[in-house]
Structure 1
Amino acid sequence: MKHLTYILITTGLLFACATEVKDDNAKSKIYRAAYNVLTDQENDNYEVFSANLDGTDVINITNLDGVEWTYRSMNDKVLYISDRDTCYRCYFLYETDALGQEHRRIGGPQLKDSWMDFRKGGDEIIVNPKVENDSAFYIINRNGELIQKVYTGMAYFSDPSFSPDGSKIVFRGSNKRFKANIGYQDELYIIGVDGHNLRQLTNYPESDTTAKWWQYHAGPPYWEPTRDLITFHSVQQGGSFLFQINPDGSQLKKLTPDSLKVGWHNWSSDGSLITFDVNTTGSDGKMNFDIFVMNYNTGEITQVTNETLFAQSAVLVEMKNPD
């Protein structure tokens, strides 16, 4: 398995001004990447794999018929949605460890295809449910029991992420439904968990027409807790890049180089690493996606996977240190 490393010399100033993660904290953390793989396109079979960050020890941790997708790690657990034991693409929430040794259905409502987040050390999870005659994010406990509903009042909303103190949510939303030819365009919004004080965070450049209606103007956000900043990806200027922005809307910065077409992303719990998928389609035109990891402080980017299978939507799972 080949591994490529990139050094972002041109963005050195960006990383120099970032809040630095303590070395002793970073060294104490060991991570695996868990990611979604299209194993059988004809039968629409997706699995969740995991691997060490050097690309070794690749494991299929779900190994089921149908669709399994991970959309968040929670400490040493992988949260994934699955249509196992139900109808086609009717998703419910499960958790497992990074090696797929123990699986548990969390319960709760049927879910939409959406990222999710947790607060209070993992005791509470915010999800995007598929419930008839209801349009809200649900905050549930580890048994799937409803704690609270958060109504945004928007025609479209998805991919919620908690603020570090758990009092606010950043999410992807639109005043138009997700549908062609009606003016749909997603942006990031912030709202209190009480459903008040909704405000728009991002503004896609008016002069940029490179993103189609179905592509991300502002992709699923992540509210990174150690620096209190928000990251997201966006299709702009003919590419797809990872950006960061402060919660007050200031200091928008591009994090990834023009040479990489970046998609979904996730942070390590200590804020030292970001993982994301990259469109690695070759000169032969055969489409492919692989998982990469970036050191936030140094800008070094390493390729984790190099397979013929689609590998997307990676999360970083904290492993228990045997020492």
Structure 2
Amino acid sequence: MNIKPFFFLILATGLVACGSRLKDSGAARQPQYRIAYNVLADPEADDYEIFTMNPDGSGKKNISNRQGLEWTYYAYRDKILFISDRDTCRRCCYILYEMDSNGGNGRKVSDICLADSWMSSRKNGAELIVTPHPSVDSAFYIINLQGKVLDKLYTGLPFSGDPLFVNGGKQVVFRGGLTKSKLIDGFNEELYLINMDGTGRRQLTHYPKGDTTAGKFGYHAGTPVEHPAEHFISYQSKQNGKYSLYAVTLDGQKHWKLTDNSQNEGWHAWSPDGRWLAIELFDDEQTQFHIGLMDWRTKEMKILTDTAYQYQQAPVFVGY
């Protein structure tokens, strides 16, 4: 009796089964995301809500469901950090809260009156860097998840906002201005890098000389976002009359236009693996805002939102 065919049949079957198990295991290890974003749900009431959706645009859900201003600027793993004016006067001061990707387990993180600013974290999400309201302090605050102030970072500039931890939390990239606000001439915002002890401040971006298309209130350099794998900084900038995404390396030596979309591009976020880029997209007249998702490998873009709401902005990735 020749046992070789039978042996090879068993071997082949085993390999197929093993391959199937490996494939299934690999699929199970794929990161699971939803995209959180901000929606002007009721313009007359100035009601901003936080929505989430699947990466294909399905499963849209209002997870904040509270009239007022609720706006997310950051998510870590399955937690969404958001600012709200629910416990303060309208749009004058913001308090930090968190909730999970389904809108549950909501809680107040801090009682500090915050500015309208993006934020980030270090030490596996245990410490946050936030921007107090100008009436409170001119420093960035490093706080823990119980709202305790652990440290302060003074940048030495009249305006500082949108802080981003880089280099393992040893440095911060932020948006800085040469006057206290855009209402004062000479604001001239750019992105800067600074050490956590306040030393070594260095300008990273340089808005093109002679370009006046951003006007007084448009972004020269918007919120900094770090690519998690390639570690460059992406940001929005209105140049030649259009908002586009640009990039700069952390040493400031290389600058380039990051994307080439026909629509204006604004606030954006990278998926934790760097594969996907969620972008706020809008027309020149800003009559409709969408959330788009770009495959960073192929540069293929898909619009995820519809026209049920005019303002759909500032996407962040959140796990579930």
Q: Judge same fold: TM > 0.5, yes or no.
A: yes
User: What is the DSSP-based 3-state SS (H/G/I as helix, E as strand, rest coil) of the residue aligned with 1:165?
Assistant: helix
In the alignment, structure 1 residue 104 sits paired with structure 2 residue 107: yes
Structure 2 CA distance for aligned equivalents of residues 106 and 79 of structure 1? 9
Question: Does the CA contact (< 8 Å) of 1:269 and 1:318 recur in 2?
Answer: no
Letter in 2 for 1:231: S
TM-score normalised per structure 2: 0.87
Deviation at 1:54, TM superposition (A): 1.1
Structure 2 CA distance for aligned equivalents of residues 132 and 217 of structure 1? 25
2:45 alignment partner in structure 1 = 43
Letter in 2 for 1:118: S
User: What is the DSSP-based 3-state SS (H/G/I as helix, E as strand, rest coil) of the residue aligned with 1:122?
Assistant: coil
Bigger Rg over Cα: 2
Matches within 5 A, 1:80-119: 80-89=82-91, 90-119=93-122
Deviation at 1:207, TM superposition (A): 2.4
Structure 2 CA distance for aligned equivalents of residues 189 and 77 of structure 1? 28
Question: Does the CA contact (< 8 Å) of 1:116 and 1:160 recur in 2?
Answer: yes
Q: What is the RMSD of the two structures over their aligned residues, measured on CA atoms? A: 1.8
User: What is the DSSP-based 3-state SS (H/G/I as helix, E as strand, rest coil) of the residue aligned with 2:45?
Assistant: coil
Question: Out of 66, 74, 77, which is 2:76 matched to?
Answer: 74
Question: Does the CA contact (< 8 Å) of 1:160 and 1:170 recur in 2?
Answer: yes
1:65 alignment partner in structure 2 = 67
Which protein is richer in helix relative to its size? 2
Question: Does the CA contact (< 8 Å) of 1:26 and 1:272 recur in 2?
Answer: no
Structure 2 CA distance for aligned equivalents of residues 80 and 95 of structure 1? 6
Is the alpha carbon distance of 1:46 and 1:115 closer, same or farther for their aligned partners in structure 2, counting shifts above 3 Å? same
User: What is the DSSP-based 3-state SS (H/G/I as helix, E as strand, rest coil) of the residue aligned with 1:299?
Assistant: coil
User: What is the DSSP-based 3-state SS (H/G/I as helix, E as strand, rest coil) of the residue aligned with 1:50?
Assistant: strand
Letter in 2 for 1:273: W
Question: Out of 127, 143, 156, which is 2:159 matched to?
Answer: 156
2:31 alignment partner in structure 1 = 29
Structure 2 CA distance for aligned equivalents of residues 139 and 60 of structure 1? 30
Deviation at 1:133, TM superposition (A): 5.5
User: What is the DSSP-based 3-state SS (H/G/I as helix, E as strand, rest coil) of the residue aligned with 1:109?
Assistant: strand
1:311 alignment partner in structure 2 = 312
CA-to-partner distance for each residue in 1:115-149, whole Å, 9 max, x for gaps? 00000100000000126352100000011100100
2:211 alignment partner in structure 1 = 208
Question: Does the CA contact (< 8 Å) of 1:68 and 1:83 recur in 2?
Answer: yes
Q: What is the aligned residue count?
A: 293
Deviation at 1:248, TM superposition (A): 1.0
Deviation at 1:81, TM superposition (A): 0.3
Structure 1 CA distance for aligned equivalents of residues 44 and 141 of structure 2? 34
Question: Out of 203, 206, 231, which is 1:228 matched to?
Answer: 231
Question: Does the CA contact (< 8 Å) of 1:80 and 1:94 recur in 2?
Answer: yes
CA-to-partner distance for each residue in 1:26-50, whole Å, 9 max, x for gaps? 9711211100000111111100000
Structure 2 CA distance for aligned equivalents of residues 230 and 82 of structure 1? 27
Matches within 5 A, 1:175-194: 175-180=178-183, 182-194=185-197
Question: Does the CA contact (< 8 Å) of 2:228 and 2:270 recur in 1?
Answer: no
Deviation at 1:265, TM superposition (A): 0.8
Is the alpha carbon distance of 1:218 and 1:286 closer, same or farther for their aligned partners in structure 2, counting shifts above 3 Å? closer
- Point out where structure 2 has 5 or more consecutive residues left out of the alignment: 1-25
CA-to-partner distance for each residue in 1:182-202, whole Å, 9 max, x for gaps? 222210000011111101000
Is the alpha carbon distance of 1:129 and 1:315 closer, same or farther for their aligned partners in structure 2, counting shifts above 3 Å? same
- Point out where structure 1 has 5 or more consecutive residues left out of the alignment: 1-23
CA-to-partner distance for each residue in 1:203-249, whole Å, 9 max, x for gaps? 00002111112110000001233222111010001111011111111
2:4 alignment partner in structure 1 = none
Structure 1 CA distance for aligned equivalents of residues 134 and 222 of structure 2? 23
Deviation at 1:177, TM superposition (A): 2.0
Matches within 5 A, 1:240-319: 240-280=243-283, 287-309=287-309, 310-319=311-320
Structure 2 CA distance for aligned equivalents of residues 25 and 120 of structure 1? 28
Q: Which has the higher contact order (CA 8 A, sep 6+)?
A: 1
Letter in 1 for 2:273: D
Identity of aligned pairs, percent? 44
Is the alpha carbon distance of 1:153 and 1:286 closer, same or farther for their aligned partners in structure 2, counting shifts above 3 Å? closer
Structure 2 CA distance for aligned equivalents of residues 231 and 248 of structure 1? 14
1:4 alignment partner in structure 2 = none
Which of 248-257 and 76-85 deviates more? 248-257
Deviation at 1:250, TM superposition (A): 2.3
Question: Out of 55, 65, 72, which is 2:57 matched to?
Answer: 55
CA-to-partner distance for each residue in 1:30-81, whole Å, 9 max, x for gaps? 2111000001111111000000111111110101111000001111111100
TM-score normalised per structure 1: 0.86
Is the alpha carbon distance of 1:258 and 1:228 closer, same or farther for their aligned partners in structure 2, counting shifts above 3 Å? closer
